[in-house]
């Protein structure tokens, strides 16, 4: 398999990387660029990540949980406020996340490029779970010109 192949749906995706370990940040950057993504950062401090998020277009993020002794939750909150998907990439167990973040995807370190891309796809699928698909009707509106499934045919009495 050619690891340098771009993955459809990831080409041009701008991904904020928040990781304080230089070698892991470089590996993550390589995995993302090989998949067609554009990397924003990497940021090795929470305040750097917030500055990047405020000053550049970002489509998604990969966040280490502990950044130089500071938890990354302020960055996660800022991403959530903008409706942007993110995943935690950490050596900590998912159960170590604070309660409001335990429903988020956690990618256990070490991970492969395939695991990273799978987690990113899952994060995007859950981006707006309550919003209807672009071509689907509103949830409470009936289909136009379609009879009710249990109603009798027009002109027939149901008795």
Q: What is the CATH number of the domain that holds 67?
A: 3.40.50.2300
Q: Is 41 exposed, middle or buried (0-12, 13-18, 19+ CB in 10 A)?
A: buried
Tell me if 42 sits within 8 A of 19, measured CB to CB. yes
- Count of Cβ atoms closer than 10 Å to residue 71 Cβ: 15
Distance CA 68, CA 71 (A): 8
Residue 96 lies in a domain: yes
Does a structural domain hold residue 71?
Answer: yes
Residue span of the structural domain in which 25 resides: 14-125
Domain count, the chain: 1
pTM above 0.85, yes or no: no
Walk across the sheet containing 38-43 and list its strands: 38-43, 14-18, 60-63, 86-90, 106-108
Domain contains 24: yes
Query: Does residue 159 sit within a domain?
Result: no
DSSP state of 34: H
In a domain, 142, yes or no: no
pLDDT at 93: 84
In a domain, 144, yes or no: no
Task: Find out whether 70 and 25 touch, Cβ atoms under 8 Å.
Answer: no
Tell me the C-alpha distance between 107 and 155, whole Å.
60
Judge contact between 31 and 9, C-beta under 8 A. no
The pLDDT assigned to 127 comes to 53
* CB of 69 closer than 8 Å to CB of 44: no
What pLDDT, on the 0 to 100 scale, is given for residue 30?
A: 96
CA distance 62 to 18: 6
Q: What is the reported pLDDT for 6?
A: 56
If the chain, 159 residues long, is cut into consecutive pieces of 10 residues, what is the mean pLDDT of each piece? 56 95 96 95 97 95 96 97 95 88 92 93 66 34 41 46
Residue 25 placed within a domain: yes
Give a yes or no: residue 155 inside a domain: no
Kindly give the residue spans of alpha helices, DSSP state H, lying in the chain: 22-34, 46-55, 73-81, 113-125
């Amino acid at each position: 398999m050619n690891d340098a192949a771009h993955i459809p749906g990831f080409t041009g995706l701008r991904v904020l990387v928040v990781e304080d370990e230089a070698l892991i940040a470089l590996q993550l950057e390589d995995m993302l660029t090989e998949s067609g993504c554009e990397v924003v950062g990497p940021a090795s401090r929470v305040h750097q990540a917030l500055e990047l998020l405020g000053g550049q277009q970002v489509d998604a993020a990969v966040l280490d949980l502990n950044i130089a002794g500071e938890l990354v939750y302020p960055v996660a909150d800022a991403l959530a406020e903008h409706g942007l998907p993110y995943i935690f990439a950490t050596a900590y167990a998912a159960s170590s996340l604070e309660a409001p973040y335990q429903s988020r995807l956690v990618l256990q370190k070490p991970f492969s490029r395939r695991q990273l891309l799978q987690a990113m796809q899952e994060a995007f699928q859950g981006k707006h779970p309550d919003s209807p698909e672009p071509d689907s009707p509103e949830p409470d509106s009936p289909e136009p010109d379609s009879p009710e499934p249990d109603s009798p045919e027009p002109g027939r009495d149901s008795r």
